C-alpha cells in the first residue's frame, strides 16, 4: 500500500537545473576548470554543493581543499539566493499534482539543496504547507547517490502521528526523481521510484520503477495499485 510520497526538489518542483548548471560552471571557472553542459548533466546532476565541488577536485586530480571547498559552497549559496529572491518557475504540472496528492498522502522533500532555499521557493509557489517533512543538505553529510537524505526523510515521516499505530515501511514510499543518481539513492533507501524526464532522457532512467515525461502523464491510480 502506498502511504507516503517523497519528492526530489531541483528539476522536480522548480525549474532550477539550468541555473545550477550556470553557477557550477562559474564556480569551476574560479579554479580554472571548465564544466560542459553535457558533463554537468552526466556527472553532477543530483549532487549537493559539497558533492559537486569534491567531484570537481577529484576529477582534476587534486586533493580536496576543505577550506577552499567551504568558500566555494558559501559563494554559490550566496549567489543562488540572490538570483532566486523573486522565486523560480514551477515545473509543468507540479502545483496541480502536489495539490492532488497532498490530501491522501503525507509529502516530503529529499534534496541536496539548502533548507532556506527550499522553503523560500516553496513559499513563492504557495506549496510550503503541502510538505510535512523536509530533508535537505543541512541534514546530511553524504550526497546522492548515497541514500542518506532519503533515509532522513523516511525517518521523519515515520515519526508523524499518521504512522503511530502502523509504522511506515520503506516499501510503502514513492520517490519522484529526475536524475539517474537520484533514482539510485531512492531505491537504495528501499523506495519505489517514479522518474520524470525533465532533465535526462528515458534511456538513462530505465532503472526507475516508472518513467513519465511530465506530471500530467503520471497515473497515480496505476502506480498506487502496484503497492497493494
**Residue range 14-41, pLDDT digits in tens:** 999 999 999 999 999 999 999 999 999 9
What whole-number distance in Å separates Cα of residue 85 and Cα of residue 83?
6
Of the candidates 153, 191, 147, the one whose C-alpha atom is nearest the C-alpha of residue 169 is 191
* Same domain, residue pair 81 and 128: no
What whole-number distance in Å separates Cα of residue 143 and Cα of residue 141?
7
45-102 per-position pLDDT tens digit = 999 999 999 999 999 999 999 999 999 999 999 999 999 999 999 999 999 999 999 9
With the C-alpha atoms ordered 146, 137, 19, 35, is the resulting torsion angle positive or negative?
negative
What whole-number distance in Å separates Cα of residue 28 and Cα of residue 26?
5
Residues of the chain above pLDDT 70, percent: 100
Q: Which pLDDT score, from 0 to 100, does residue 228 have? A: 67
If one counts the domains in the chain, the total is: 2
115-149 per-position pLDDT tens digit = 999 999 999 999 999 999 999 999 999 999 999 99
161: exposed, middle or buried (Cβ count in 10 Å: 0-12, 13-18, 19+): exposed
* Same domain, residue pair 46 and 154: no
Give the chain's mean pLDDT.
96
Q: Which pLDDT score, from 0 to 100, does residue 9 have? A: 98
What whole-number distance in Å separates Cα of residue 54 and Cα of residue 64?
6
What whole-number distance in Å separates Cα of residue 131 and Cα of residue 142?
23
- Give the residue from 85, 100, 135 where a domain finishes: 85
Q: CATH number for the domain including 52?
A: 1.10.150
103-115 per-position pLDDT tens digit = 999 999 999 999 9
Q: CATH number for the domain including 166?
A: 3.40.50.1000
Residues 6 or more apart from 196 whose CB is under 8 A from it?
A: 12, 91, 176, 177, 178, 211, 212, 213, 214, 215, 218
* Same domain, residue pair 144 and 109: yes
End-to-end CA distance of the chain: 4
Amino acid at each position: 500500500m502506498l502511504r507516503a510520497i517523497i519528492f526530489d526538489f531541483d528539476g522536480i518542483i522548480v525549474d532550477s537545473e539550468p541555473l545550477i548548471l550556470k553557477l557550477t560552471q562559474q564556480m569551476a571557472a574560479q579554479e580554472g576548470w571548465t564544466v560542459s553542459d553535457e558533463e554537468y548533466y552526466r556527472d553532477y546532476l543530483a549532487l549537493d554543493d559539497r558533492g559537486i565541488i569534491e567531484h570537481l577536485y577529484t576529477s582534476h586530480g587534486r586533493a580536496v581543499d576543505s577550506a577552499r571547498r567551504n568558500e566555494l559552497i558559501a559563494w554559490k549559496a550566496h549567489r543562488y539566493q540572490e538570483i532566486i529572491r523573486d522565486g523560480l518557475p514551477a515545473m509543468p504540472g507540479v502545483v496541480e499534482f502536489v495539490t492532488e496528492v497532498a490530501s491522501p498522502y503525507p509529502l516530503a522533500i529529499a534534496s541536496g539543496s539548502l533548507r532556506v532555499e527550499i522553503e523560500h521557493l516553496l513559499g513563492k509557489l504557495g506549496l510550503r504547507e503541502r510538505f510535512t517533512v523536509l530533508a535537505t543538505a543541512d541534514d546530511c553529510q553524504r550526497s546522492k547517490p548515497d541514500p542518506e537524505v532519503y533515509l532522513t526523510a523516511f525517518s521523519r515521516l515515520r515519526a508523524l502521528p499518521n504512522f503511530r499505530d502502523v509504522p511506515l515501511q520503506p516499501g510503502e514510499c514513492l520517490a519522484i526523481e529526475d536524475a539517474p543518481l537520484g533514482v539510485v539513492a531512492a531505491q537504495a533507501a528501499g523506495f519505489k521510484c517514479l522518474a520524470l524526464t525533465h532533465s535526462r532522457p528515458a534511456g538513462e532512467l530505465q532503472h526507475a520503477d516508472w518513467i513519465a515525461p511530465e506530471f500530467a502523464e503520471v497515473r497515480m491510480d496505476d502506480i498506487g495499485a502496484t503497492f497493494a
